[in-house]
């Protein structure tokens, strides 16, 4: 055999080369093929602003494992890739770039800005794709999509128009999150809550008496964290069950500074136990107040401009920044005697995840999706297990979202994104939603229109991802064949923002589920269990890990011990350990290749298999069955642990060591060929089981080891074979392994060097057990460092001082004199006895020294007492051993 592996495993030398080979050979590409069963995964599209992080690495490793596994099982496997335009994230990045050039977004105008945005996308948009390739992701890159490409634009417009025609999409005034810096509404997904030090301002509003006069003696006191919002108060509320205030319900208070009378309403939203049990109600600036306002038909007064300065409804504070106005209002209330006190208060404040600005809840006229009917099929699908959530506990989170679903705000005040296909007649203001710009107004006959300036929420387009990427709204052959998709792999943190929206969109547009299974994974945390973040500076760049240890070692680290839905801690020590595992596989493969050099390994050696060969084939057979079952059930971490243990422990540490004497013996060609055939067969199947997890090293070894197939990627997945089930040999070899472990433990406890051989006697009255040792004598002697192995029915002829090892139905004896050089061992132990006498004398001296005991720290005293206990125990063992030897 002319092929060979390099002396040392170097991922740098093979990973890029092999990935290019796979691309050139089109192994990742899937075409419609009715003769095969499809298996489809759509990638959670990373943002074009994205840089590969550990969350991406985990998510894509899991998908790659599944797609490689199914490809090897013979499925027509499609992993559909793509990227997301990420409206806000991208716009923020571009604005930052423009600022450095001294350019304001508005100066460019919409068209000029979009030109820059597309240039930015072309320059940076493919970066994360190249990084995913470094990870080994086997996506069908020929089918790469983008959420703002022509096909996606068509799908988004079609869905908007269809849903508007059905009444699911409407325009209305509702409260939402507003970013004063980015000047857009944002979704709950983009709000990060962080603890901020603030205050509770305790304020009192004067009551209006029965005559309509402002009382100077009666007040309602409450506390607020945002005093400036009082400018938009429409009421104060109390709990209907609160006896303190029941008599006041229906009366009014004076809103100071603004001098507007507002009602006192009773609403169960108010917590009687919190503060004074009175709450100010500002429907335009608080989501809870908005709901209270709807129940009581209260006025909605917006007091803020888009940049969070006070608007004309704020009277004399108009034009002030919100925090500047806060100070002025607090001062004025204090001057009027209406500020009771200020209390320090730490609370969670919503900030925009992209720019860090504190968001403002604000009422805006926006486009919404009506959710009450749309969500029903999505609820039923999970209830009826038509869609499986793994782990199952995620159903609780899922139903928590669906049970509390609100209408979805889909408009964003941005330029980068899908523009809303709504047009306003310049003559009469009529709104026309259409797939293309209308030519005539249906109401007044006008011919001039202005398109809605807003764009759609990014999630609107990604909600269509499972079918828009396959060509919808066209009825393509890909859509018919690959849809519904099979598995969605995603983090549990976007269960609502993405998963639920894809599910209801699939049922609404396609009439069926978008995928059969959702596999959730947790977050990758640092070694201390903290979330990785820029602020903590604890993020680990996957590309740096790949550069140092290789993609295979990183992938194995991310998946080992990883259970669905659970967060995992990332340790660099584990990456090193997995790199060591790669070295172990590499070195074992080199050993096998070297022993095959110049030899014709038979195509089949089943007629000459020995018990050790049958044992490893049977163990492999079991592993194949268990690992396949685990992977079918998405227990990827459990599966790879079994493969790892089999390769390292059973194959490398046991079987290879078992067959070495046969490989080096030249007198039995059949036995040697059987060993070589088994080594090659087992290694090939083990590599196949490992391939989805460690694609690069397995490909390199596989292609070097055999010439029948051009790639492990397109080889067939191993299957359980009844003819490889050897229960008897499994039991026999396990007995021999137990005997080897017993002998090794005895030798270790007696400090016997590995080079010292000793005769091992196997005593058993069971002929079958004696035969087991006879058949395995060659490798047992090698592994147990035995000079010879004798099997007999009783203890006849065995020295009285022989050391014994007990195993089921047999006892192994090793003559003491063959294990130990008596004179040398006595001399060594006498030296040890003398050393321990000195140590005990020193420790006892310190512990009986009153000065030491009174002045030394407690920790030092405890340390010395620990030493006394240790040395006393060691001395007892030495004396006992010397006594035995001197006999």
Q: Which residue ranges make up the annotated binding site?
A: 534
**Residue 508 DSSP symbol:** H
Distance CA 685, CA 702 (A): 10
Distance CA 585, CA 336 (A): 81
Answer yes or no: are the C-beta atoms of 530 and 538 closer than 8 Å: yes
Nearest to residue 398, comparing CAs of 484, 488, 503?
503
**How many CA atoms within 13 Å lie on the side-chain side of 356?**
3
Nearest to residue 885, comparing CAs of 824, 813, 811?
824
**Coil, helix or strand for 577?**
helix
CA distances for 370 relative to 9, 376, 406, angstroms: 58, 12, 8
Distance CA 235, CA 293 (A): 8
Q: Which spans in 386-521 are helix H?
A: 394-403, 458-462, 465-468, 477-482, 501-510
Nearest to residue 686, comparing CAs of 740, 624, 639?
624
Expressed in angstroms, the distance from the first to the final Cα of the chain is 59
Per-position b or e across 86-115, b if 16+ CB within 10 A of its CB? bbbbbbbbbbeebeeeeeebeebeeeebbe
Distance between alpha carbon 377 and the CA centroid of its chain, in Å? Answer: 28
Tokens 């005769």 — which residue?
759
CA distances for 778 relative to 612, 658, 731, angstroms: 11, 8, 18
Answer yes or no: are the C-beta atoms of 883 and 876 closer than 8 Å: no
Residue 683 is encoded by which pair of tokens? Answer: 């290694």
Cis before 832 (ω within 30): no
H or E element in which residue 579 lies: helix 572-596
Residue 20 makes CB contacts below 8 A (sequence gap 6+) with none
Detail the residues annotated as belonging to a binding site for ATP: 534
């Amino acid at each position: 055999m002319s092929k060979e592996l390099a002396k040392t495993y170097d991922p740098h030398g093979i990973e890029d080369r092999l990935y290019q080979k796979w691309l050139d050979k089109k192994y990742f590409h899937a075409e419609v093929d009715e003769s095969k069963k499809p298996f489809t995964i759509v990638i959670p599209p990373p943002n074009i602003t994205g840089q590969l992080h550990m969350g991406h690495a985990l998510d894509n490793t899991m998908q790659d494992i599944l797609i490689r596994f199914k490809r090897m099982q013979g499925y027509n496997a499609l992993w559909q890739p793509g990227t997301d335009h990420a409206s806000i994230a991208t716009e923020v990045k571009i604005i930052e770039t423009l600022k450095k050039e001294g350019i304001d977004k508005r100066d460019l105008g919409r068209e000029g800005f979009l030109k820059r945005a597309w240039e930015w996308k072309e320059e940076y948009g493919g970066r994360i794709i190249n990084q995913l390739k470094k990870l080994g992701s086997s996506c069908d890159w020929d089918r790469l999509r983008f959420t703002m490409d022509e096909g996606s634009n068509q799908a988004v417009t079609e869905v908007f128009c269809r849903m508007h025609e059905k009444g699911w999409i409407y325009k209305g005034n509702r409260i939402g999150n507003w970013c004063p810096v980015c000047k857009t509404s944002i979704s709950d997904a983009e709000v990060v809550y962080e603890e901020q030090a603030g205050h509770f301002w305790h304020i009192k509003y004067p009551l209006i008496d029965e005559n309509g006069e402002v009382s100077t003696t009666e007040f309602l006191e409450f506390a607020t964290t945002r005093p400036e919002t009082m400018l938009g108060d429409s009421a104060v509320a109390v709990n209907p069950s609160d006896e303190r205030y029941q008599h006041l319900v229906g009366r009014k208070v004076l809103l100071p500074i603004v001098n507007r009378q507002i009602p006192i309403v009773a609403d169960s939203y108010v917590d009687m136990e919190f503060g004074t049990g009175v709450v100010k109600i500002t429907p335009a600036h608080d989501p809870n107040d908005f709901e209270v306002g709807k129940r009581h038909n209260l006025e909605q007064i917006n007091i803020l401009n888009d940049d969070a300065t006070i608007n004309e409804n704020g009277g004399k504070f108009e034009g002030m920044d919100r925090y500047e106005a806060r100070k002025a209002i607090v001062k004025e209330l204090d001057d009027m005697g209406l500020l009771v006190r200020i209390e320090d208060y730490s609370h969670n404040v919503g900030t925009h995840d992209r720019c860090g600005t504190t968001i403002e809840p604000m009422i805006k006229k926006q486009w919404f999706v009506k959710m009450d009917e749309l969500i029903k099929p999505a609820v039923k699908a999970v209830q009826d297990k038509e869609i499986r959530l793994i782990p199952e506990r995620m159903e609780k989170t899922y139903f928590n979202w669906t049970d509390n679903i609100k209408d979805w705000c889909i408009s964003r005040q941005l330029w980068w994104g899908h523009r809303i296909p709504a047009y306003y007649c310049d003559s009469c203001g009529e709104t026309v939603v259409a797939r293309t710009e209308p030519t005539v107004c249906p109401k007044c006959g006008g011919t001039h229109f202005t398109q809605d300036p807003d764009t759609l929420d990014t999630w609107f387009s990604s909600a269509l991802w499972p079918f828009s990427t396959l060509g919808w709204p066209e009825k393509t052959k890909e859509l018919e064949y690959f849809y519904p998709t099979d598995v969605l792999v995603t983090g549990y943190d976007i269960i609502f923002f993405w998963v639920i929206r894809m599910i209801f969109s699939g049922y609404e547009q396609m009439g069926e589920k978008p995928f059969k299974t959702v596999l959730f994974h947790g977050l990758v945390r640092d070694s201390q269990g903290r979330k990785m973040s820029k602020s903590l500076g604890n993020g680990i760049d996957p590309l740096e890990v790949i550069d140092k240890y290789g993609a295979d070692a990183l992938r194995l680290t991310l998946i080992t011990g990883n259970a669905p839905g659970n967060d995992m801690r990332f340790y660099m020590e584990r990456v090193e350990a997995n790199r060591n595992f790669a070295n172990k596989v590499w070195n074992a493969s080199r050993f096998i290749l070297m022993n095959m050099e110049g030899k014709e390994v038979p195509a089949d050696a089943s007629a000459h298999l020995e018990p050790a060969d049958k044992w490893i084939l049977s163990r492999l057979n079991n592993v194949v069955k268990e690992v396949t079952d685990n992977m079918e059930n998405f227990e990827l971490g459990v599966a790879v642990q079994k493969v790892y243990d089999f390769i390292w422990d059973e194959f490398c540490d046991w079987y290879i060591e078992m067959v070495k004497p046969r490989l080096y013996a030249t007198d039995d060609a059949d036995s040697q060929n059987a060993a070589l055939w088994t080594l090659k067969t087992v290694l090939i199947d083990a590599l196949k089981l490992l391939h989805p997890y460690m694609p690069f090293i397995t490909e390199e070894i596989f292609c070097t080891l055999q010439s029948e197939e051009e790639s492990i990627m397109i080889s067939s997945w191993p299957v359980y074979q009844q003819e490889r089930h050897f229960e008897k040999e499994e039991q026999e070899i396990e007995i021999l392994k137990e005997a080897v472990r017993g002998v090794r433990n005895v030798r270790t406890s007696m400090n016997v060097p590995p080079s010292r051989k000793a005769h091992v006697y196997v005593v058993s009255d069971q002929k079958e057990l004696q035969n087991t040792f006879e058949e395995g004598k060659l490798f047992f002697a090698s592994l147990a460092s035995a000079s010879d192995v004798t099997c007999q029915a009783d203890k006849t002829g065995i020295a009285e001082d022989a050391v014994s090892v007990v195993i089921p139905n047999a006892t192994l004896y090793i003559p003491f004199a063959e294990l130990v050089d008596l004179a040398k061992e006595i001399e060594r132990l006498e030296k040890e006895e003398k050393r321990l006498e000195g140590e005990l004398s020193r420790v006892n001296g310190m512990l009986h020294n009153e000065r030491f005991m009174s002045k030394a720290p407690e920790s030092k005293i405890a340390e010395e007492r620990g030493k006394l206990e240790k040395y006393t125990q060691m001395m007892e063992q030495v004396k006992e051993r010397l006594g035995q030897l001197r006999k």
